[in-house]
Amino acid sequence: IIKDSITGILRGKKVLITAGGTREAIDPVRFIGNRSSGKMGIAIAKAAADAGATVELVLGQISIAQPVNPQISIYQVGSTEEMQKKVTELFPAADILIMAAAVADFRPARVANQKIKKQDDQEQLELQLVKTTDILKTVAEKKRADQFVVGFAAETADLVQNANKKLKSKNADMIIANSVAGNNGAFGSDLNQVTILQLGTEPVQWSRMTKTEVAIKLIQLLATKIK
Ligand code: CTP
Ligand code: CA
């Protein structure tokens, strides 16, 4: 799998990509986050740029360097709500949306204005969480026929079955399922083993390869999907 093979295949296309994890504030100094490194989404952004696309990259919390590329515009966001606003704003102009971000499913019901202090006699703290908006689902509901939407599915069990449910419930054209279980999981790793799901076709399991290679193969596949 070589980078040169994708040169120009997405020229003139606009690709909107989310990467990294969202952060949901608890108080001014604390948040609920997740283990997403941003590596997969950033690798896709780089591959899309190599393919000649204009890339809008909406970034949550990441643990690697931001890409520096004249074709990639970066929008830094914190919470799921901020990410939703940015994606909703940028989606109408995009040919392809790829939701690689690890988005919080729940956020604290209330955000404390001041730092939460522990009391001497306090042994427990209860946080009430409320569901966030499903960005992928909400945005894909408004998808035009000329737009292609790709979601990810992070699973620790029943990978294909769970990912298939997400393909249908989220109005996505494609779901990239990856295991986040144990030491072979995708979080933080440079390697990924994914299964590609599309409506009306059998799931296709790709071999374990670097995230850069997954990104290149994905861009090759997406180029065949859009006019
Ligand atoms: N996603 C999203 N908004 C959310 C939650 C998830 O847009 N509030 C997107 C993710 O970016 C990913 C896809 O939905 O592309 C699947 O995310 P995942 O966490 O695997 O699935 P969920 O639908 O959140 O279900 P669960 O976590 O319960 O498995
Ligand atoms: Ca989730």
Rounded CA gap, 149 and 145, in Å?
10
Single out the residue of 160, 165, 170 nearest to residue 205, CA to CA: 160
pLDDT at site 16:
98
* Mean pLDDT of the residues in the chain: 95
pLDDT at site 183:
65
Atom of ligand 1 nearest to the CA of 137: 7
pLDDT at site 220:
97
pLDDT band at 184 (very low <50, low <70, confident <90, very high): low
Closest CA to ligand 1's atom 21:
153
Task: Please give the ipTM for the structure prediction.
Answer: 0.99
Q: Is the pLDDT at 2 greater than 90, yes or no?
A: no
Q: Is the pLDDT at 102 greater than 90, yes or no?
A: yes
Tokens of 215: 């990104």
- Decide if 74 contacts 86 (C-beta within 8 A): no
pLDDT at site 193:
93
pLDDT at site 127:
97
Tokens of 69: 């590329």
Q: Which ligand is nearest to the CA of 80?
A: 1
Q: Is the pLDDT at 181 greater than 80, yes or no?
A: no
Please indicate, yes or no, whether the overall pTM of this predicted structure exceeds 0.95.
Answer: yes
Which residue from 134, 148, 160, 170 has its CB within 8 A of the most atoms of ligand 1, so it is best to mutate?
Answer: 134
Which residue from 44, 77, 105 has its CB within 8 A of the most atoms of ligand 1, so it is best to mutate?
Answer: 105
Q: Is the pLDDT at 20 greater than 90, yes or no?
A: yes
Single-letter amino acid, residue 66: Q
pLDDT at site 67:
98
Closest CA to ligand 1's atom 4:
134
Q: Which residues surround ligand 2, an ion (CB under 5 A)?
A: 105
Single out the residue of 44, 42, 144 nearest to residue 95, CA to CA: 144
Q: Is 114 helix (H, G, I), strand (E, B) or coil?
A: coil
105 annotated ligand-binding residue: yes
Single-letter amino acid, residue 112: A
Rounded CA gap, 176 and 167, in Å?
9
